[in-house]
Amino acid sequence: MRNQNTGTTALDDAVYKDVVVVGNGPSGMMLSYLLAGNVPYYTGQPHPADEMLTARLRSSATGGSLLDQDLQFLSQGLEGRSRSPVSLLADMLLHPCADMGLDYPSLLEWRHEPFLQVDHVVLGKGPPGGVWQMMDGNVLTISLGSWMELPDFPFRQWEAIHTAGGPQHFRNSRVPARSVARYYSDYVQAKKLGRFFRNSAVVTAITPLEPQSPSSACKNQSEVSGPEVRARWRIDGYDATSSVTFSYVCRDVVLATGGHDVPNMLHVPGELENPSWVMHNLSQLEKVLDTIAANQGMCRCRNGTARGAQCDPVVIVGAGLSAADAVIAARFRGLPVVHVFRSRTPQFSGRQLPEDMYPEYHKVHQMMNDRGRSYRLYTALAEHKVLEITSDRKVRLQSPDGKVVVCTASVVAVLIGSRPNLSILPPELNLAGDSSRPVDCHANPVQVELFSYAAVRAPEGMYAMGPLVGDNFVRFIQGGTLAVATDIHKNSSRKEEMIL
């Protein structure tokens, strides 16, 4: 049956697409750009620091695009900050010598080749941009601004136009999450990708379909390529605004759902019973802190007491960068902080973050190690464990010597990391490298083929990318995009050859 509005073919109530991408963050956006028929070509310029790479690029580039090249050959021997060879390759082409602090132009140019467009849809719960649309806009990126950019849309040029009159960020600087979120929204518009995006679309289930035999589905040769035979996956979900359900069937499904959908929990009594003042999310915390600070401001105006003296402390649990952001947010508003963490000498990834670029994190690190002795309105409780949070806002903690300490909180922020939500897959489909444990973006990512990003433990036609496979930074996600797009194109042309 032909759907007149979309030009796609429906099976039962399901719409057929060659590719369905689940997740509309940077991963889904980059992949959509390639699947829309935008193709990277090597410019022919030498790589400034890697003669061998230049030689490999020159020997393979016979006028073809990068999607036609052997990615394994091109990425031979590359080393850097990612474990994925194809991520290193893409990074060296897009940001040559970035780790040396140098700023060379990209060695890739993009051409629009409409005949390479793949019929696809990108589904995402919220607006395009993924986790960046949910973050507190004031938080600065860990990466430099230009490392957050998506293909063929230079961040600095965009920034120069869109923040005219506002603060300009230099090459060696981080940028507020607010700018990144806006840049990602603009990307979809500027690159005319909107027609491929279905936002506010919550996927509830991804199911492998039984293989259909050509003879049972179709009678003649021309129908062998029809969707009845090609569909390998079914994707079900609902529209978050209208609650209307939808279904797609597709040949290939790409998991680009990110790694931050489910906050980690302490699993202590009281943690979930009081959501208005016990939270697991930095942007929600910021809003509550604004209210507390506003109330404190009123107190000070009336009776002149020092800001913060009137309110119970903000209890922050966790030793990572989000917990550090929470400490900064509370102190910025003059609110007292009790900072609870398990380690004796916290390190967060601070060791890899140079002090001149990340002074705020180094400051928090210093405060944690100093145990807050030298800092007003800040108390660090190292090696403490939360036992319980009671409804009268008491947090019961256990100190390293086993004593129980009780602290009254105005608000509690539990910021101890997050993990992906892959409950949309059938329970028997555990894609992790160690399939006896759940997927963890750092310790146990989805296992994929190195040069196609096809999920090793899934039936044919499933890919994964981004933090799910351990590519945690936008800079390194681009390699996965290239691998997936290359494989999808190769498989499409192989099938077309078979049909001919």
Helix ranges (DSSP H) in 36-131: 51-60, 71-74, 85-94
User: Does 257 sit near ligand FAD (CB under 6 A)?
Assistant: yes
How do strand 385-389 and strand 378-382 relate by DSSP bridges? Answer: unpaired
- How far is the C-alpha of 23 from the C-alpha of 378, rounded, in Å? 39
User: Does 123 sit near ligand FAD (CB under 6 A)?
Assistant: yes
Nearer to ligand FAD, 259 or 470 (CB): 259
Enumerate residues 188-227 that contact ligand FAD by CB under 6 A.
201-203
Nearer to ligand FAD, 194 or 211 (CB): 194
Per CB under 6 A, the segment of 45-53, 150-158, 365-373, 467-475 that binds ligand FAD is: 467-475
CB count within 10 Å of CB 53 equals: 22
User: Does 130 sit near ligand FAD (CB under 6 A)?
Assistant: yes
**Amino acid, single-letter form, for residue 443:** A
Nearer to ligand FAD, 400 or 426 (CB): 426
User: Does 461 sit near ligand FAD (CB under 6 A)?
Assistant: no
The C-alpha angle with vertex 96 and arms to 186 and 355, in degrees rounded to 5, equals 80
What tokens appear for 232 in the block? 């390998």
Torsion of CA 378, 384, 389, 390, to 10 degrees: -90
User: Does 417 sit near ligand FAD (CB under 6 A)?
Assistant: no
Among 95, 260, 280, 339, binds ligand FAD (CB under 6 A): 260
Shortest Å, Cβ 475 to ligand FAD: 6
User: Does 142 sit near ligand FAD (CB under 6 A)?
Assistant: yes
User: Does 67 sit near ligand FAD (CB under 6 A)?
Assistant: no
Contact letters (x/-) for ligand FAD, 317-356, by CB under 6 A? Answer: -----x----------------------------------
**Which whole-number Å values give the CA distances from 304 to 183, 335, 336, 345, in the listed order?**
43, 16, 17, 38
Shortest Å, Cβ 299 to ligand FAD: 32
Q: For 154, what's the count of Cα atoms within 13 Å in the CB-facing half-sphere?
A: 13
Helix ranges (DSSP H) in 75-176: 85-94, 155-162
| Cβ within 8 Å of residue 156, ≥6 positions away | 145, 146, 171
Instruction: Pick the closest to residue 330 from 402, 369, 279 (CA basis).
Output: 279
Nearer to ligand FAD, 202 or 450 (CB): 202
Shortest Å, Cβ 321 to ligand FAD: 7
User: Does 40 sit near ligand FAD (CB under 6 A)?
Assistant: no
Nearer to ligand FAD, 296 or 481 (CB): 481
User: Does 480 sit near ligand FAD (CB under 6 A)?
Assistant: no
User: Does 424 sit near ligand FAD (CB under 6 A)?
Assistant: yes
Give exposure, 464-484, as e/b (b: 16+ Cβ within 10 Å): bbbbbbbbbbbbbbbbbbbbb
User: Does 23 sit near ligand FAD (CB under 6 A)?
Assistant: yes
User: Does 116 sit near ligand FAD (CB under 6 A)?
Assistant: no
Which residues of the chain form contacts with ligand FAD (CB under 6 A)?
Answer: 22-28, 123-126, 130-132, 135, 141-143, 148, 201-203, 256-261, 322, 421, 424, 466-467, 472-475
